[in-house]
Chain A
């Protein structure tokens, strides 16, 4: 359950940003989570509620944008989405591919009132 650590970092960042907006309450927090990461949305939601309790974030909605995995071929430059974690270019069959998307663990935005 490393989602607890992730959520602690998320609340550190939120708190830092909220210092610029005294008196507001948070309505929504949006995360971008890559499909190659091990962060489980249900666990994130559970941890979010736990951390939000008794703060200006309490009751806010947690929106999780899932980012699919994308790879780019180093040989032919083709971009694709791997099927079943097969990291191989569907265009030329090359195994020399770089992950360009899917490792995101980002705090995207918050909505305050």
Chain B
């Protein structure tokens, strides 16, 4: 006997994500889901960003890590509220983990919630967290073949941060091709070319955060 089921496998996660989205919305918070390979520079970018947003936007940070609290400690040093989620082996955050993290924040006091996902270019993008925007951080040394190899993360992201631009002359990446492929997958994506180490190109990125992070009403 054949039994029709026709159910979205991610239905439960999507429901919880919708609840998170509602919680963020009611608190007037813009939530970002920052994704990218291990070592792409997500935490470094975030640190440089926090320094620039200080006194202007109130930011909370959720750090996703498989086992450690290293990134959360780096963020804590900047004096912003941070909560560490250890996924205990899982390669991505999910909506339930984020929901459990939210009571650890005074949401009324925040404008922006930045969620740094587990370092991984593949898995996190499938799991909505209730964020308003997905952001992919790609360090250019990872190679210009990455967009076509991992199109979904570029398709679903509103912004792509191309990090480690200071290493452009030291690797064989073709920046023109890299940007062409990203834009062919997602013509509307915003591309920021930055070096989090040398602190270049961060102005436009920070300006974008200002536009999306303003409290509405």
Say whether B9 contacts A10, CB under 8 Å: yes
Chain B residues with CB under 8 Å of A110's CB are 2-3, 5
Contact B123 A1 (CB under 8 A): yes
In the complex the two chains form, is A13's CB within 8 Å of B148's CB?
no
What distance in Å separates the Cβ of B183 from its nearest Cβ neighbour in chain A?
8
Interface flag for B94 (CB, 8 Å): yes
Considering only residues 1-32 of chain A, those with a C-beta below 8 Å from chain B are 1-2, 4-6, 9-10, 12-14, 17, 21, 24, 31
Mostly helix, strand, loop or mixed at chain B's interface?
Answer: mixed
> Taking CB as reference atom, which chain A residue is nearest B10?
A105
User: What's the least CB distance linking A11 to chain B, in Å?
Assistant: 10
Q: Fill in one digit per residue for B3-45: 1 if any A CB lies within 8 Å of its CB, else 0.
A: 1111111111100000000000000000000000000000000
Q: Contacting A109 at CB < 8 Å: which of B5, B10, B127, B147?
A: B5
Residues of B within 8 A of A (CB): 1-13, 90-92, 94, 122-123, 125-127, 147-148, 150-152, 155, 181, 184-188
Chain B nearest Cβ from A62, distance in angstroms? 13
* A37 touching B126, Cβ below 8 Å: yes
What is the minimal beta-carbon distance from B128 to any residue of chain A, in angstroms?
12
Residues of A within 8 A of B181 (CB): 85
Per the bound structure, the CA–CA distance linking A6 and B151 in Å amounts to 20
Q: Let me know if A112 and B3 touch, CB within 8 A.
A: yes
- Whether B9 and A106, one on each chain, are in contact in the complex, defined by CB atoms closer than 8 angstroms, is yes
Pairs across A and B, CB under 8 Å, 18 listed: A1-B91, A9-B13, A13-B7, A13-B11, A14-B5, A36-B151, A38-B152, A85-B155, A85-B184, A85-B185, A86-B185, A87-B155, A87-B187, A88-B187, A107-B7, A109-B4, A109-B5, A110-B2
Which chain B residues lie closer than 8 Å to A6 at the CB level? 9-10, 126
- A113 is an interface residue with CB less than 8 A from chain B: yes
Assess whether A106 is in contact with B184, with CB atoms less than 8 Å apart. no
Nearest Cβ distance between residue B54 and chain A, in whole angstroms?
35
For residue A21, give the distance in angstroms from its CB to the closest CB of chain B.
7
Are B122 and A5 in touch, CB under 8 angstroms? no
Cα–Cα distance between A4 and B91 once the two chains are bound (Å):
10
Contact (Cβ within 8 A) B2 A87:
no
Q: Given A12-B12, A85-B185, does the pair A106, B7 have CB atoms closer than 8 Å?
A: yes
* Inter-subunit contact B184/A86 (CB<8 Å): yes
Minimum CB–CB distance from A88 to chain B (whole Å) comes to 7
CB of A75 within 8 A of chain B? Answer: no
Q: Is A95 an interface residue (CB 8 A)?
A: yes
| Across-interface contacts of A108 in B (CB, < 8 A) | 4-6
CB-CB < 8 A to A36: which residues of B?
151-152, 155
Asked if A42 CB lies within 8 Å of chain B CBs, one says: no
Contact A112 B1 (CB under 8 A): yes
Report the bound CA distance from A99 to B154 in whole Å.
Answer: 14
CB-based contact B8/A111 at 8 Å: no
Question: A17 vs B123: C-alpha distance in the bound complex, in angstroms?
Answer: 27
A9 & B1 in contact (Cβ 8 Å cutoff): no
A21 and chain B: residue at smallest CB distance: B3
What sequence of 0s and 1s flags, for each residue 69-112 of chain A, a beta carbon within 8 Å of any chain B beta carbon?
A: 00000000000000011111000000110010000011111111
